[in-house]
Amino acid sequence: MILLILLLIPFISGLAVAFFKGTQAARTFAVASAILNLVITIFVLVNPVSEGYSAEWIGFMNIQFNLATDGISLVMILLTNLLFPFVILAGWGRSQRNVPMLNSLILLTQAALNGVFMAQNAFLFYVFWELALIPVYFILLVWGGDDRKSITLRFFIYTLAGSLFLLFGIIYLYQLTPGSHTTDFSAFNQLQIPEQTQTWLFWILFVAFAIKMPVFPFHTWQPPTYKMASTQGAMILAGVMTKMGIYGALRFLFPIVPLGVQFWQPVVIILGLIGVIYASVIAFKHTNLKTMIAYSSMAHISLMAAAMFVANEYAVKGLLFQVMSHGITIAALFYLACLVKEKTGSTEFHQLGGLKNKAPIFAILFLIAVLGSIALPLTAGFVGEFLMIAGLFQQSFWYALFGGLTMILGAIYMLYAYQRVMLGGQKPVFEKVTDLNRLDYIILIPLLVLIIGLGVFPQPVFDMIKIAGSALTMAH
């Protein structure tokens, strides 16, 4: 029941907030709802519920409304509900159009994401998966930056294309289930699919997740979308929605088409490693801060994809830990990038420089986020990436070598970017730049504390994913 509440709070408050008239009232209400959800999430973590929620939905197709959690979904739910209060706060004090509708869409996204991570039924999963996309599409379309019309449409078509193939896969699996068919994951997991079928079914299912993550070469929607996204849109997209891809792959591929995974494992790992290097090189060459962060995110996600398909204990633990830390770090980074845009009016490197002189504290916090992203020891990024590379090493020396490049290359492009934004001679146009205000502290300090805190003391997350790790190894 409590899982249903977790889903309903953002859903109902999201619908309610659309009818608010006042700007500040809508924002306050939205934040309150998101914080309440976070509290309940923590309560669920502390007192794990064994039983889920189940109800009849579509009788004649034998589709149930099933919610439950396991270790993997708990990590995802925690990340989602942790980030959303900050996402909503990121809109405070800024002039935005139609604030009630914006906050309504954000909360509906949160509800859909919670649904994705709790659904125990593939059909339900798919419905939530698409539902999460729709509000985000409108957030980007209405509140996005320049050239948003064509970019959002490309983003939408791209992700939807992947999803429809996933739908094909779900229906295919559905009609394979014995008796009166069902779309329950538990029934899917018990299917014995011939190897021949698994090899093509793997790609039908994987394309949706590969686009969402994104894995090279399915990434072309991502950089322009991140670049034009509003602060909040970028935080949702990069922080949580990329994790949907990882979650989906863990949920679908390993238990249902294990032979397909085995067959394509080297290909996907190599695609992931190509992605690491490709994205890092482009990030280094790129002249725009937000696009640079987008490519850096892609580099990290590519490593996560590679680690996922290595699928030994280290790699999976590292992966799930990195889900958490990458989500927090990238959200903080995008918030900072948008602050840069707000303060200077640009995110092009050649127009930036010397911000440190006018905004020293901003520079320090930016540095911490950057260090978190390049996986410096004692930040959360290090723990995850170290474990994933250790996992890659167990599989092959070469995997680890190229995977390890993400840390080195990451350090190069991130610090280079930091240098071009914050250091150097101060541009005369930046006379009026001010340092952070109170709201920025409220958003950034908790996120940065988490980045460092989890780096120093990662055990709580590992406790949480212990169940998940064993579940995955069982699938092998």
- Residue ranges binding another protein (CB under 8 A): 58, 60-61, 101, 126-127, 130-131, 134, 138, 141-142, 149, 153, 156-157, 160-161, 164-165, 167-168, 171-172, 174-175
Query: Whole-number minimum distance, CB 140 to another protein, in Å?
Result: 11
Residue linked to tokens 């502390």: 46
Amino acid in the structure at residue 84: F
Which residue lies nearer to another protein by CB, 50 or 175? 175
d(CA 291, CA 187): 42
3-state secondary structure of 18: coil
Phi, psi torsion values for 120, nearest 5 degrees: -110, 15
Alpha helices in 257-396 (DSSP H): 258-285, 289-310, 313-344, 355-358, 360-373, 380-395
Which residue lies nearer to another protein by CB, 108 or 332? 108
Q: 5-21 burial by CB neighbour count: b if 16+ within 10 A, else e?
A: ebbebbbebbebbbebe
Query: Whole-number minimum distance, CB 207 to another protein, in Å?
Result: 11
Transcribe 325-351 into DSSP letters: HHHHHHHHHHHHHHHHHHHHS--BGGG
The DSSP output letter for 432 is G
Amino acid in the structure at residue 268: V
Query: Whole-number minimum distance, CB 127 to another protein, in Å?
Result: 4
Which residue lies nearer to another protein by CB, 172 or 263? 172
Query: Whole-number minimum distance, CB 362 to another protein, in Å?
Result: 34
- Residue 217 CB neighbour total at 10 angstroms: 11
Which residue lies nearer to another protein by CB, 171 or 439? 171
Which residue lies nearer to another protein by CB, 41 or 230? 230
Which residue lies nearer to another protein by CB, 98 or 396? 98
Query: Whole-number minimum distance, CB 186 to another protein, in Å?
Result: 20
Would you give the distance in Å from CA 320 to the centre of its chain? 12
Bridge partners of residue 67, in order along the sequence: 53, 119
Query: Whole-number minimum distance, CB 167 to another protein, in Å?
Result: 7
Phi, psi torsion values for 193, nearest 5 degrees: -95, 135
Query: Whole-number minimum distance, CB 156 to another protein, in Å?
Result: 6
Which residue lies nearer to another protein by CB, 163 or 297? 163
